[in-house]
Structure 1
């Protein structure tokens, strides 16, 4: 600020000439010297002269009243335009209320898969589906994706367990067939041994023929009356 105050007053007035009123008030509070220059009558006279010239320049280039009125623009509105706007707003409200009365219920939209069920909730008092207190619409797809991934992981785990059980059954079945083959072979060996023992205990042909002749002789004597039976 001290370096700024070293400048001549003419330069400071020229600088303050291009400053707006709010900035000029803020500058006047900086120091006593700048306050004195900010309230200088010559400065404000120059500012008023510049403003008058600027206003005259802009007034020559201002748009016409017809260009500011509807339908080209809505900057200038007379009473007719205001009344027409109010009438239009009332008609829009009436049409909107009629359309809202004919709109379908949330339950029908949910059943038709137009509205996601996650965004609605069931009201116990009215017994109807109402909007709110659910998952946000932007998160529904992400929630469904997470559920599909969870279901896919569960199915993969179930299939892996099922495959392990099938392999275990196959191993058990293979072991069971081996046991059955061993038992069957053992039975065959036992049967062969019994057949061999039966052959050993079977009487010889000479004994059988001798006994046959003996009983034939006994029966012949009995028929002749020699032997009393």
Structure 2
């Protein structure tokens, strides 16, 4: 489990190096990180963190967050081009975009943290029941994520609400998903590994006994 948590920590740390590399003039290296993480994240600028700029976030106007420069003000356009929002990594004034979105930061970060907590507990935390995992982890992130879809596309009926989530809700639901999934997954993995270790131990014990019982016979035969 500790190895998985360390790998997740590295996975969540690397996206924060992309703004650092951009800031220090290593754009080629930063672009490699952006391209690699694009496989697992949309990297929309208005749903991502920024470093070394005026603000840590540039949300859409629809998010209704006061006293912040909105993404529309940054781009000087009321129409959001999703491809541009994905490709734009920032600049010296607004800062540079972290290579994964706010929600993914919360998901992978909380999953890694729970892994370390599980290790520190001596692997004694019991598995979260599947129905609680569904309630705690899946429902909140599903509601918050799916309810944003109409804001990114047109043609929806008038009765469909159009909303944009906020960094607070993305971090909260992402953390609930990460912690809930870790709570459900880590104890189950540990139990499975424990059974495997017991099975292997028994097999090796049997092999050892067989070798010990056949050794005298071999010695007698050699005489």
TM-score range, shorter chain: under 0.3
For normalisation by structure 2, the TM-score amounts to 0.24
**Which protein is richer in helix relative to its size?**
1
Instruction: Name the TM-score, length of structure 1 as normaliser.
Output: 0.23
Higher relative contact order (CA 8 A, sep 6+): 2
